[in-house]
Structure formats: structure tokens, C-alpha cells
Structure 1
Amino acid sequence: MYRFLLTPRWIALHVVVLLVIPAFVFLGQWQFGRFEERSANSDRVTANLAAPAVPVESLAGQEIDQDDRYRTVTATGAYDPAHGLLVRRRPQEGRPGYFVLTPLTLADGRAVLVNRGWVKAGATADTPPEVPPPPTGQVNITGRLRLSETEESSGLRDRPGLPAGQVLLINSDAIGQRLPYRLLDGYVELTGQRPETDPAPAPVPAPDVGSGGGLNLAYGVQWWLFIGVAIGGWLLLIRREAADRRAAAAGDVAAEETAPTG
């Protein structure tokens, strides 16, 4: 009765099922891995945001460690508006605009890039935005420590030929080549300063920690449920085919028994 399982049509179905099952296993494992990765990242960022503030020199003196992203840092110095920059393609709340990037020179002669906030774009593409000036003299700032941006981390493609004073990526290595002093690694996303200024660029929102990869967990469970659907569907088709063949065989026997004899 089950010899039909060795026909070419059914062998092709067996192959498809045998290929689909490990594929679904792999996709489920990949989603679970992403869940663990994002959950760990969410926990780390949340802890860094809640950690006590430390001087920026203690974390950004050399290359910033990945685990120090979004740590709250402090710095004291004077802004250098002459070397300020605008960072292009930075929409906020659905509106096009720029980040205002200004170096803060420190007592030891080094400087750190400070993202002072967001300003809306001008009326046209050629109209420069209105940028509130930074405070003069010595200031004390507090902010979130960020890694330098790259094309891979930001999803933006850097390109030459931008208007003077504008960049696409906040990269301390690239920007530092144009400055007369040494920059600390990364940059600071401003959350507070003394003295305050009014008007001032709009604050950059805090990072969205999110659900820690909850969607990835749901997708992983979904892929593994598909394994059960594939196996259940395969067995159901086999049972249905076998039942149809038994019914057809029983019909043939009944026809032979009721057929008139010679």
C-alpha cells in the first residue's frame, strides 16, 4: 500500500521536506542568537545610562571600549566654534536637519567632539540652517559617550565634495586630521551643560533600548513551529494518499464481486 512513497513525485516531496527542516532549524537558531545578542546589548546600554558619570578622559583617552557606549561622562573646557561642523542627514521627529558638532578644548590641550544637538534644515537645500552659538568661556558638560561613526555602523556612505563645514559621519579620526589639536576618541552627545544657553540646539533623544530582541525570540519560535507544520503536513499527505488508494482498491474489489458472471 505504501509503495507509492517510492514514486518520483513522492521522492521529490521527501527531498523538499528534508531540506526544509534543517533550514528552519538554522533560521530559528539564528533568531535565538540575535535575541541573546540584542538582549545583552540592551542590558549593557541600560546599565551604562544609569551608571555614575565619569570624566571623559578616563574612557576616551585611547580607543573607546564597546562596553562603554552610552556611559555618562563629564568634561570641562571651552568650545571652539571656529572649527564647528554640521552633520548632514540627521532627521529628528520626522524633520530633516543637522547635528551641531563643536570641539571642546580641555585643560591638557586635547579636545573632544561634542554633539550639541539638532537644528532643522534651511528653507532650501542651499540655505544654511540657523545654528545657536555655544557659550563662551569655560563650560562644564555632561553627555553620553558615543563611538566614532563609520559607514558600516551608521549605514551612511561618506563622500567628498560637501559644503564647507559639513560632514556626513562623526568620526574623530577623520575630523581630527583637520584640527590643530588632538581629539579624544569618539564623541559626546550633550545632555546638560553649565552655563546653559538660550536658544540652543534641540537635545538628541536618548537611545531607544527597545525590547531587547523580543521580536527575534518570537521569530525563532515561529521558525521552529514551522518545522512541526512541515512534518505534520507531510504525514497528513501520506495518510490521505494511502486512504485514497485503499478506498480505490476497495471499490475495485466491490466492482468485481458485483459484476455479472459469464
Structure 2
Amino acid sequence: MRIAFRFKPVPFVATLVLVILGIALGRWQDRRAEEKMAVAAELAGGSTAAPLVLGAQSIEPQHAQFRRVTATGTFVPDWPVYLDNRPHDGRAGFYVLMPFRIDGTAMHVLVARGWLPRDVADRQRIAPYPTPQGTITITGVAKPGAGHVMELGDAPPVQAGAIVQNADAAKVAAASGLQLQPFVLEQTSADGSERVLLRDWPKPDLGVDKHRGYAFQWYALALTALLFFIISGLNIGKSSGTKTDQ
């Protein structure tokens, strides 16, 4: 049996492009998975570390991100903001955001107080919920924001009592004139409102397995292209031989 390989320039170039593309995209997905694993480690570390006590000084987001934080002060009840399209267990509702003034300072932190169901008859109506009066201490987790949802058309302005799709500390600070820490405190502590404002916060889906699956698919594409080029180029034939007379 004789095995020969027929080299064809055009299939070779196409195969080379697919192999390079598959490996490059596979490595990119691997890096994305590593980044998500680093975030998961940051979350785990932040949940076990001592709480960060908020005061008058602004804290850089990267120093507070995913850490447990605590603050003593008072809520600013006349500046709530409601984030729409935040379902919970299949029910439509809002996230309630409210500034919290840190005691003895002009600094505030924007607190995600919890989830509130939407009125099915009138989506503009906000059901009543209690807000603690006076000085209290709250704890929670510092997050870059309260989540982002897709919105169509022009976004309504952020203002006191507004129902909006998205808002963050920077937008609320600009609209209210309040000095705010550059992150959101996702409240986990009880303050007497937890029977109305649910704090069953969703855990972040980091998608590590998704990125690993995508990486496997890209590597498989590169390998398949290479094998196809090799197999399609093989020319297998019978070798000819001569008989000798006895």
C-alpha cells in the first residue's frame, strides 16, 4: 500500500485561517473564564472579610467591590428611585434605591433596599413600604451597580420617586446633588421593612462554564479543520509488484 499526500494551496490557506481563528477565540474564552473565576474568588473573599465601615471619605469602587460594608446614619426618604423590570419568582416588581446619609458627614451611600412587587392594576403606583426613622446601622455588599436591563427609546430622567429602567450612584448624585459613594450598597440587614421589601438578592451568574464550553467548541473547530485537511489530502493506493518465476 502506497500513501501519498497531495498538497493544495487553497485548502491549506483556508485550514490555516480556521486553525488560527479557532485557537485565538478559544484562548479568549479561556481568559474570560479566568476573569470570571477571579471575580468569584473576590466575592468569596469579600463575604468572609471584616466589614468595611463607611465614613466621610469616598472609597474607590475597586477597593469596596463585593466586600461587606456597614454604615450608620439615616435614610433620605424623599429621594427614592425605583428600578423597573426586576422580576422575582415570576412576579413583576421594582428594586427600591434610596440614599443613606452617613452619620456626622455629608457623604451618602445609595442603598438597594429590596424588591417591591408592582401593582398589577396601575404600574405607576408604588405600594407603601416602611422606612426606618432616625439613626440606624445597616450592612450589605458593595456592588458596582444594581444591575442593568435593556431599555428602548429615550430613558426618563432620574429624579425623586422616578420609575426608571437603570440608575446608578453617579446618576442619582448628579440629579439629587447629594454626595454619594461611587457604588451601591445591596442591603442584607434587617431594618423592620423586610416583610415588605424582599432582600433575596439573586446570586451573580458569572458564566464560567459557558465560557469553557465556548472555548471547547473553538478548539474543536480548529482540530476538525486540521484533520479534514490532512485526511482529504491523503492519496492511498495499492503498490504494484512483480512476480518472479520459480
TM-score with structure 1 length normalisation? Answer: 0.76
Moved more, 229-238 or 155-164: 155-164
Q: CA deviation at 1:49?
A: 1.8
For the Cα contact (< 8 Å) 1:29–1:220, is it kept in 2? yes
- Secondary structure at the aligned position of 2:78 is classed as helix
For the residues of structure 2 that align with 1:19 and 1:198, how far apart are their CA atoms?
57
In the TM superposition, 1:109-148 aligns within 5 A as 109-124=106-121, 126-148=123-145
For the Cα contact (< 8 Å) 1:68–1:145, is it kept in 2? yes
Q: Which has the higher contact order (CA 8 A, sep 6+)?
A: 2
**Aligned to 1:237, which of 227, 232, 236?**
232
For the residues of structure 1 that align with 2:182 and 2:88, how far apart are their CA atoms?
25
Letter in 2 for 1:82: D
For the residues of structure 2 that align with 1:198 and 1:72, how far apart are their CA atoms?
19
Deviations 1:97-120 (A, max 9, x none): 111112222221332221110011
Task: Tell me what 2:186 maps to.
Answer: 189
**Aligned to 2:214, which of 209, 213, 219?**
219
For the residues of structure 1 that align with 2:43 and 2:54, how far apart are their CA atoms?
17
For the residues of structure 1 that align with 2:220 and 2:38, how far apart are their CA atoms?
25
- Secondary structure at the aligned position of 2:36 is classed as helix
Task: Tell me what 1:254 maps to.
Answer: none
Deviations 1:27-74 (A, max 9, x none): 11111111211111111111112212121238xx32533253121111
Q: CA deviation at 1:183?
A: 2.1
Task: Tell me what 1:257 maps to.
Answer: none
Letter in 1 for 2:133: T
User: How many correspondences in the alignment?
Assistant: 235
For the Cα contact (< 8 Å) 2:26–2:214, is it kept in 1? yes
**Aligned to 1:42, which of 22, 40, 43?**
40
In the TM superposition, 1:79-228 aligns within 5 A as 79-107=75-103, 108-124=105-121, 126-148=123-145, 154-157=148-151, 159-160=155-156, 165-166=161-162, 167-179=164-176, 181-193=178-190, 195-197=191-193, 199-208=195-204, 213-228=208-223
**Where is the helix percentage greater, Structure 1 or Structure 2?**
1
Identity %: 22
Unmatched tracts of structure 1, length 5 or more = 251-262
- 2:53 aligned with 1:55: yes
Query: CA 1:104 to 1:217, structure 2 compared with 1: closer, same or farther past 3 Å?
Result: same
Letter in 1 for 2:231: L
- 2:71 aligned with 1:75: yes
